[in-house]
Amino acid sequence: MSSVAPALELKNVVKNYGPIRAVNGLDLVVAEGSCTGLLGPNGAGKSTTMRMLTAQTIADEGEIRVLGHELPGDSKAARARMGVVPQLDNLDTTLTVEQNLIVFSHLYRVPSSQRKAAIERVLKIANLGERRDSKVDELSGGMRRRLLIGRALIHQPQLVLLDEPTVGLDPQVRQELWALIDLLRSEGVSILMSTHYIEEAERLCDTVTIVSHGTAVAVGAPEALVTEHAGRDAVEIYGSPERLREVEGEMAKEGFPTRRTGTSIAVLGLDDAAGRAPAGERRPANLEDVFVLLTGEEIS
Amino acid sequence: MSSLPAEDRAPGRLERSAIGGVLVREIINFSSYWRSTTFSSTVEPTIYLLAFGFGFGSLVSVVGGYDYIDFVATGTVATAVLFSSIFPAMFGTFIKYKFQRTYDAILAAPVDTEELVTGEALWLAMRASVYGCAPLLVGLVFGLSPSWGMLAVPVINFVAGYGWACTGVAIAGWLKGIENFNYVTSAVITPLFLVAGTFFPLTGLPGWVQALAQLNPLFHCVQLVRHAAFGWEGWADVWNFSFLVLFGLLMWRVAIAAMERKLID
């Protein structure tokens, strides 16, 4: 970890909705210039966390600092230097691509002398130069998403929040967006990205915070998390549901963590197993193993 | 980025650049739907004016000392202001909040709820100020005599429109579903609309109704517009105007409170 102040820091943050505790003592750090993934299943508190970072949701307890500003009191100053890509598309659909960017250049206070250049820059980043006069209604899903991301960059923010940036998109579009996010990363923009797509986190994030029930259950670089929680290799054992249940029991006795994949049981933590490793299909362990292991299987 | 000079200053409340951003969004959006809105905002009160003016006008030629068509032409100005501010405020706010999620995007920018509501209300007030003049212009065509006082009508419209726009935003903020808007329209807006001295003078109504009308901002707006056209009435108009200003200020804060409750959790 560098000694530079983090772009974003949450300490012991709690948010309740009536009797439901959506965020439960969450700690989260986005180091300056890094891309951090907030990885968790649906309902883990990711969206609530994202909303707290723009002070649209106010935490009940804990501390939130964004770009050196204390939230919620100082949130407006933080928002001025932060770009937000929402999960749900909220572009103005009857306006053109360029008009959408003009509106946001005003909302984000881009000085009028720089407005034109800022819009051209975003059109280039989002690769929408040729569609500048198209109404948003006429754009494909991928183009809309690119515009949504580009719109958040109009004021050259130091920190970008991406809330499930590729949810519901086909693989081609997803790759396109990954390239775009990678470009931002290479420019030194700090990024916090919530996602439940493992591959997305693995490819783009320097650090991942895995959340479950509103708490961080693991933090680290993706490879480090895999090594720590799942080991180098996983062994997948296939069979009937009864057989799989048996395997789970046997492995639990042996002290090996397992996780279900739906069609098989993946046995993890085999680095020191030597001869005790079960027979099955061996493959490298991955972040999905860690994710399911840490968030997936408790019966609630 | 270091090129933005505003960065080091701590942002305050009700900043011009934030309200301006909200206004720019509305103005650019307006370019895509101004035709239909202008049509309905001007044709509707004109139809009221012509129907009542000529319909009733054939039965009663003089009301309260004025030609009936002149009486209605000035009265429907207030109606046009009401309709072109409270309804777009109610529906627009709800749609932008719930369906388009525009407010999520705006509040993620350096804009607070207070500035958002203020910007939206200012925009609707400006629109209402212009649209409210339509019945007056139609009236002039049908024989209303022009007067210098009429130049004050856009100002009256603006102040009243601001209050109604804030009222609409507040209603959208308090109500859970768009279907509940019907209750407000029937139980609140229609009575306000009818008991304001627009189409008939209140002098024929029971005393308690006349007393209640004093609390109806639309009544004060009707009075002001009429006096602007036919001659000011001194302190009475100072009171009418003050009432509208107070109404606007009160509803502004109510609208902000309602929207903060809705948008910030």
Q: What is the pLDDT of residues B221-254, one digit of tens each?
A: 999 999 999 999 999 999 999 999 999 999 999 9
Backbone angles phi, psi at B133, to 5 degrees: -80, -15
| pLDDT of res. A297 | 57
Per the CB < 8 A criterion, the answer to whether A97 and A138 are in contact is no
Task: Examine residue B153 and state whether it is found in any structural domain, yes or no.
Answer: yes
∠A102-A125-A51 over CA atoms, to 5°?
A: 65
Q: What string of pLDDT tens digits covers the 300 residues of chain A?
A: 445 789 999 999 999 999 999 999 999 999 999 999 999 988 899 999 999 999 999 999 999 999 999 999 999 999 999 999 999 999 999 999 999 999 999 999 999 999 999 999 999 999 999 999 999 999 999 999 999 999 999 999 999 999 999 988 888 889 999 999 999 999 999 999 999 888 899 999 999 999 999 999 999 999 999 999 999 999 999 999 899 999 989 998 988 999 988 889 999 998 887 788 888 899 999 999 999 999 875 533
Per the CB < 8 A criterion, the answer to whether B129 and B154 are in contact is yes
Task: Examine residue B77 and state whether it is found in any structural domain, yes or no.
Answer: yes
Chain A residue with minimal CA distance to B116?
A107
Number of domains in chain B: 1
Q: What range does the domain containing B123 cover?
A: 15-263
What's the one-letter identity of residue B18?
A
Chain B positions in Cβ-Cβ contact with residue A86 (cut-off 8 Å): 101, 104-105, 108
Sheet containing strand A190-195, edge to edge, reads A82-85, A159-163, A190-195, A35-39, A207-212, A215-220
Task: Examine residue B6 and state whether it is found in any structural domain, yes or no.
Answer: no
B4 contacts A76? CB cut-off 8 A: no
> Residue B7 pLDDT > 70, yes or no?
no
> Residue B219 pLDDT > 60, yes or no?
yes
| pLDDT of res. A273 | 79
CA atoms within 13 A of residue B230's CA, in its CB half-sphere? 18
Chain A positions in Cβ-Cβ contact with residue B24 (cut-off 8 Å): 102-103, 106-107
Pick the CATH number of A231-284 from 1.10.3470, 1.10.8, 3.30.70, 3.40.50: 3.30.70
| pLDDT of res. B8 | 54
Quickly tell me which residue has 């726009």 as its tokens. B165
A56 contacts B264? CB cut-off 8 A: yes
Q: Does A140 touch chain B (CB under 8 A)?
A: no
Taking alpha carbons only, the member of A185, A186, A211, A182 closest to residue A196 is A211
B109 contacts A79? CB cut-off 8 A: yes
Per the CB < 8 A criterion, the answer to whether B263 and B107 are in contact is yes
Q: Does B146 touch chain A (CB under 8 A)?
A: no
| pLDDT of res. A3 | 58
Q: What is the pLDDT of residues B81-122, one digit of tens each?
A: 999 999 999 999 999 999 999 999 999 999 999 999 999 999
Second-level CATH architecture of A8-81+158-223: 3-Layer(aba) Sandwich (3.40)
Q: DSSP letters of chain A? A: --SSPPSEEEEEEEEEETTEEEEEEEEEEE-TT-EEEEE--TTSSHHHHHHHHTTSS--SEEEEEETTEEETTTHHHHHHTEEEE-SS----TTSBHHHHHHHHHHHTT--HHHHHHHHHHHHHHTT-GGGTTSBGGGS-HHHHHHHHHHHTTTT--SEEEEESTTTT--HHHHHHHHHHHHHHHHTT-EEEEEES-HHHHHHH-SEEEEEETTEEEEEE-HHHHHHHHT-SEEEEEE--HHHHHHHHHHHHHHT--EEE-SSEEEE---TT-GGGPPSSEEEE--HHHHHHHHHT----
| pLDDT class of B170 with cuts at 50, 70, 90 | very high
Surface of A (12-71) touching B: CB under 8 A: 17, 51, 54-58
> Residue B5 pLDDT > 70, yes or no?
no
Indicate the domain borders of chain A. 8-81+158-223, 231-284
pTM for the whole thing?
0.92
What mean pLDDT is predicted for residues B149-162?
A: 98
What mean pLDDT is predicted for residues B192-208?
A: 90
